[in-house]
Each structure stands twice: as C-alpha cells, then as structure tokens.
Chain A
C-alpha cells in the first residue's frame, strides 16, 4: 500500500492529483509517528478516537480497510477500490480527461523515511 502511494505522490507531484487519507487509527500520537517513519506524506483526515467506528467511515459506510474511492476533478466518484495497476489505469484515465498525459506503467517507490529531512516532492520531476 504505502510504497505504491508514495510512488504515485512522487510521480504525479506536478499534476492535479492528491491522495487524501481517512485514517482510522485510534491512537493519534502513534499514527503521527508512523506517518513520519513510513514517509506517508499525504494528508489524512483523522477518523477520531473511535477508530474504525469513527464518524467519517461510518457515514461513508466503510466496513473494510482499506477502502478506496477515486474521485475526478469535478468531485465525482469514478472508481471504488481500484488498487495497484487498476488504480494506475484509473488515474491515467482521469488525468487524461484533464489533458495530462501520464505514464504510470513503471513508477517506483521512493522508499521509507529518508534519514535527512529531504522532502521528496522538492525534487524536480522528470
């Protein structure tokens, strides 16, 4: 999960693209630490201290984790639970609709937390 998402964040850094998480961990301190360690740079809502029983996932009727929605630029839900290569295809399609040609057939994971504080998205994109 994380490697694929990290890779997308890196590859699509200059595209109109974002990963938004809804984190359902109960322990906020711990998950903050985890995001640092595992280089989870994308933003997440916190689902609250009830964890998987929190308000956002309840409203969205989420009963399995992870659950993924892919939303287009107009805010419309276009795919549910498209993962891995399917997610890549979906993103390629939706970005193409906006006039952005991207190639996600071979993207690579930048890896976990770099030792120095170098921000990965500070790098120029190829």
Chain B
C-alpha cells in the first residue's frame, strides 16, 4: 500500500515540475486566489455594447448627433459592483482584491453623483459639466489603483485594476502602460472579453488595435475571447474583404456562442447581419429595397423613388 502511495506522489511531483518555466501553464491553472478573484467580480463589465451610462438627458431629445455616438466607451467599469456592502471602510487591512474593489466602487459612486448633478442642469450644460469633471475622478481612481498594483506585484487581483485603467484612461501614459501589461501578463484571462467589446467600438484612442485583437484571437485559451476579438476585429478593420473573412470565420467557428457583445444574439446572427450590411449597405452599393406602409397605412417601396436623390432617414420622435 505504502509503495503505491509513494508512486502516486512521485508522479504528481513529476507532473508538477515538468514545466517549471512555463508561465502560461501557471496562469492557465488558476490558483485558488485567482479563482477567488474571478468570482468576486464576475461581471465587472458585463455588456460591452449595451447602452453606456449616458450623458444627461440623452434620450430626452434627439440631437443631430447619433444616439450611439455620444456615450463614452470609457465608462465600462463604472457600473456598481454587485457586492458593495462587503467593501471595508479601512482599506489598509483589506486584501489587494478588496482594496481594488473598494476603489472602483468609490469611483462608481462619485461618478454616479456627478451624473445626478449633471442631469439637473439645463440643455447641454450638464453634459459639458460631466465631461469636464470626469477626468479628475478617473485620475484619482487610476492613481489609487496603480498604488495597490505597485504594492502587490503579480497579485492576480491586479487584473481588475489594470483593466479599469486600460479602459478608463485610454490614451494617457497610464492607460497605455496598463494595456501593455494586460497583453504581457494577462492575455489568458477570460475577462479580456470585456476589452474586445470596447475595442470593437473603435473609439478608444489606442494604437494598433488590430494587432492586439489578432494577438487575442491567437493566444487566448477562451473561445468567448477568441470569438469576441474576431468580432471586434471584423468591425474595426478597414479592408472589407478581410472583414468578410472574419465574419465568415466567426460563423464557422463560434456561430452558436452568444456574448454581451452580440446583445443576446448568437455570433452567427450578429455576423450574418454584419455581412448583410457589408455586402448591401456599403457606400456604392445599390440600396436594398424597402417595402412597407407609410404612416397612413399606404403601401409603398423605396424603389418607387428611383430617379430621385433620396435622403433615407431612420428617425423617431422621442
């Protein structure tokens, strides 16, 4: 009996030591601490493409600008944490994970108050006020997070902090550094999916987005991340043929998956829709016909207006 146990133990030791220098295998096999940090904030940025916290009175009156053109891609992580009540007032005794959570929660709270204040202002004043004040809050949060990260090198919980800085401070030195760190140290993290959603919008002031997405597609071990990165790349890449290829590969490889990026639809549905737009709704393509009824119930077609210059306006009075 004893002999057998020793054998088992021996095998375990050999397995454990077989890849001493393999960093990827370390990060892939989550330590208990990593697992804990994952479960603590499972959905830091659940819906990359859903409506962002919007500037004041967004819906109230349609501006000449597009509804979707305004929301800040930066506010991804601003959503209230699910377990705020657990945050401890005394940060110094808290674990790095808790500290990070507290700092982000405080930011969310401050951001919420700022929004409330801004919403009370008339016209565009609120929006201007909001965006004038927001960077201060972001700066403070970023500095605090960086301090925690610096004091606890290589703690898995740092991921959330670094992701926050990446998303909220894009374009700044801190943001760029954080992004680099994500790709150097955390490429295996499944929450990289949230970054894909934001990058897909193509509004983040980040260089070489396509290279970063390619890297995720190749190196991430998670299907959801690969799929989201493919989608993001397809959306942002300039070359239409390349975009079509990416959508096709999305359908072929990850068609059945859903993600916040596709707003509950499967990647196939989302990609089909995007392909339709690429093929038929690009500049220079003949507009697909529309057959429908006007507001008085009279049937007509868009093609009835062939021979005229047409402004086709998707509008609503809300």
Binding site for B on A (CB under 8 A): 1, 5, 8, 15-25, 28, 31-32, 34-35, 38, 43-47, 51-52, 56-81, 83-84, 87, 91, 94-95, 98
B69 contacts across to A, CB distance below 8 A? 64
A47 to B294, CA, bound (A): 9
Given contacts A59-B276, A76-B286, contact A67 B66 (CB under 8 A): yes
Q: How far is the CB of B309 from chain A (nearest CB, A)?
A: 5
Contact partner, A19, options B67, B307, B310, Cβ 8 Å: B310
Question: A65 to B66, Cβ gap below 8 A?
Answer: yes
Which residue of chain B has the shortest Cβ distance to A94 in the bound complex?
B309
- A98 contact set on B, CB distance < 8 A: 309
CB within 8 Å of A: which residues of B?
A: 62, 64, 66-69, 273-274, 276-277, 281-288, 290, 292-296, 300, 302-303, 305-318
Q: Which among A20, A47, A72 has the highest number of chain B CB atoms within 10 Å?
A: A20
Which residues from B are CB-within-8-Å of A91? 309, 311
7 closest Cβ pairs, A-B complex: A64-B68, A64-B66, A45-B292, A24-B316, A16-B308, A69-B312, A71-B310
For residue A62, which residues in chain B have a CB less than 8 angstroms away from its CB? 314
Collect the chain B residues with CB atoms within 8 Å of residue A70's CB: 309-312
B291 to chain A, nearest CB (A): 9
B287 cross-chain contacts in A, Cβ below 8 A: 69, 71, 75-77
* Closest chain A residue, CB of each to CB of B317: A34
Q: Are A59 and B288 in contact (CB under 8 A)?
A: yes
Give the complex CA separation of A98 and B308 in angstroms. 9
Give CA–CA (A95, B310) in the complex, Å.
Answer: 10
B295 with A46: CB separation less than 8 A: yes
Report the separation of the CA atoms of residues A24 and B62 in the bound assembly, to the nearest whole angstrom.
13
- Tell me whether A23 and B295 are in contact in the complex, defined as CB-CB below 8 angstroms, given that A57-B314, A63-B68, A64-B66 are known contacts: yes
Bound Cα distance A62, B282 (Å): 13
